[in-house]
Amino acid sequence: MNNVRPIKDPDKLREIREGLAKLTDWHGERMFLLFEIGINTGLRISDMIRLRKKHVCGDWIETVEQKTGKVTRIPLNVTIRQIIQDRCRDMDPEDLLFPSRVTISGKEKQIPMTRRTAYNDIRLIAEEYGLGDHIGCHTLRKTFGYWHYKKNKDLEILRQWFNHTSQAVTRRYIGMDEDERRKSVTGFNPGGAVYQPRGPVRKGKSEQNSEPLKIKNLDRSKQGKIWGERAQERRKKENRCH
């Protein structure tokens, strides 16, 4: 399981969505649409970057998953349908939703954006909104899964949605196990001891000149060898003993 995480903070998620929606340049609008389709459908990046307008102009997205080769139908909620209708209204059915612009023989043409380009866009968003390092292509898919589970509390639907082999895999994927572990230590204090912070520590002369405590651990052979001791030094010591 990779270390990429979903966006669980609702305020941060709202801030990102509202911020991206205000971008008016070509690149900003592409990032907004990528983010919204990702968190509203749970599609993999590899499947999203191949989408054309004809794939999303109804109530469903029907596509062949690049990773599994399976045909999948993803229902579109009201929010993402409205976004697609607004942002894609001037597109032709064959137009790519997430194109990269290249110039061939002096003419500008569109080709599908690469996974690397999508990752770079997501990292730009992460840096702009202070999301940290654990953000990548799977973040959008995991964010969809996390909030889908928070709303429906149904791991089986989500397992089928993601084509996972078990619900346990799905729980780990969307970060629910991590949440449960965090909750389990809330208020946890073995024995109920109350820690009293100590005051400022003044180092006396004797403490400043004292040597640090050294602990030597013998290995299991009980032959006096010290862990971490270099072989050359050990041989010298053994020769002296003989």
Q: Which of 17, 81, 115, 164 is labelled catalytic?
A: 164
Alpha-carbon separation of residue 105 from 93, 102, 108, 109, 135 (angstroms): 25, 10, 8, 10, 37
Q: Is 73 a catalytic residue?
A: no
Q: Which residues pair with 75 in a beta bridge?
A: 60
Which one is catalytic: 30, 52, 141, 142? 141
Is 159 one of the annotated active-site residues of the chain? no
The active-site residue, picked from 138, 142, 148, 171, is 138
Nearest Cα residue to 36 out of 82, 73, 72, 2: 82
Q: Tell me the C-alpha distance between 146 and 142, whole Å.
A: 6
Active site residue 141: yes
What's the token pair of residue 27?
């690149």
Catalytic residue among 30, 142, 148, 173: 173
The residue type at 54: K
Look up 138 and say whether it is catalytic: yes
Write the CA distances from 20 to 2, 29, 208, integer angstroms.
26, 7, 56
Report the C-alpha gap between 60 and 76 in whole angstroms: 5
44 in catalytic set: yes
Q: Is 27 a catalytic residue?
A: no
SS3 for 50? coil
Assess contact for 142 and 6: CB atoms under 8 A.
yes
Exposed/middle/buried for residue 146 (C-beta within 10 Å: 0-12, 13-18, 19+)? buried
Of the residues 44, 52, 159, 171, which is catalytic? 44
Write out the catalytic residue numbers: 44, 67, 138, 141, 164, 173
